[in-house]
Chain A
Amino acid sequence: MAQNTPLNLFQVTGRAMSAQLVRMNTAASNLANAGTVTTTEAEAYRPLRAVFAEQLDQANGLSTVRVAAVQRSDATPIRQHDPGHPLADANGDVWTAPVDENAEMVEMLESSRQYQNVVEAMQTAKQLMLETMRMK
């Protein structure tokens, strides 16, 4: 992400918020796909995970966050024997998405807490800037 002007505080917090939003969306996608069933192992849903990276602005030392990648985890889908299932293969097995609901909930909770923290920091900084501007 190339940029010409130095980062300001609002860009730092804004981008951090966007990154956390991507993270929350991946957790939501994983939760939505928890328990989905497929016929083959290859087709099964694999959980998504956002990978964050630091983005340092050399000009003023501020650093913000960018989403370096959204990766699929290589967890192996769970094989279940269910011959009565319409999607069962020749052996009577189905493959369930390897989503850990608890881990996803924790991920979402942590993400939302960090989002709140960033918002709080931005509000305080904004308040101080406004006070500085209104100084008589």
Chain B
Amino acid sequence: MAESLFGIHGTALELRSQRMGLLTSNIANAATPGFKARDIDFAAALKARTSGASEDQAITSATRYRVPVMPSLDGNTVEMATEQTAFAENAVGYSATLNFLRGRVETITRAIKGE
């Protein structure tokens, strides 16, 4: 039921939320020696998820290590500019998906009420 009601947006919101957690982990570990920043390839994860993979599988298969522009001496690959940009992009994507969902729910509500 939820699948057909929300379509791709429900899945997208799940993945956006997971990605937000991962990017927050990167930002939190900006000063941890040897920490390797990771990110989810959103398009790949969504593709895997829509072709039948479970959420865990889709995320695991689409998680990539960040390639640093300039590697630092302590082995940390978090670059604030990159992380902040990715975080902002993801937040906007999340908001957009949420608006699509809201639209869906409003449409259904109107149909039920017969307005």
In the complex, A1→B7 CA distance in Å? Answer: 40
- On whether the beta carbons of A16 and B28 are closer than 8 Å, the reply is yes
A23 touches B102 (CB 8 A): no
Do A118 and B28 have beta carbons less than 8 Å apart? yes
Contacting pair B21 A62 (CB below 8 A):
yes
A12–B28 Cα distance when bound, in Å, is 7
* Residue A4 CB within 8 A of the other chain: no
Within the complex, which residue of B28, B38, B91 is in contact with A13, where a contact is CB–CB below 8 Å? B28
Instruction: Place the interface of chain B in its size category.
Output: 20 to 34
Interface of A is mostly: helix
Task: Out of A13, A54, A62, name the residue touching B32 (CB < 8 Å).
Answer: A54
Q: Does A78 contact B (CB under 8 A)?
A: no
Query: Known: A63-B29, A65-B32. Contact between A128 and B94, CB under 8 A?
Result: yes
Q: Which residue of A lies closest to B87 (CB)?
A: A121
State which of A23, A114, A122 has its C-beta within 8 Å of the C-beta of B24.
Answer: A122
Query: Given the complex, which residues of A lie within 8 Å of B68, measured CB to CB?
Result: none
Instruction: List B residues 71-104 near A (Cβ within 8 Å).
Output: 80, 84, 87, 91, 94-95, 98, 101-102
A38 is an interface residue with CB less than 8 A from chain B: no
Evaluate contact between B25 and A64: CB separation under 8 angstroms: yes
In Å, the complex CA distance between A42 and B85 comes to 48
CB of A102 closer than 8 Å to a CB of B: no
Docked CA distance A57–B76 (Å) = 19
Q: How far is the CA of A61 from the CA of B91 in the complex (A)?
A: 19
Looking at the assembled complex, report how far the CB atom of B92 sits from the nearest CB atom of chain A, in whole angstroms.
10
Closest CB-CB distance, B43 to chain A, in whole Å? 19
Given contacts A124-B91, A128-B95, A136-B105, contact A61 B21 (CB under 8 A): yes
Query: A128 touching B20 by the CB < 8 A rule?
Result: yes
Q: Name which residue of chain B comes closest to A8, CB basis.
A: B21
Nearest 8 pairs of A and B residues by beta carbon: A16-B28, A52-B32, A63-B25, A114-B30, A121-B27, A121-B24, A54-B32, A62-B21
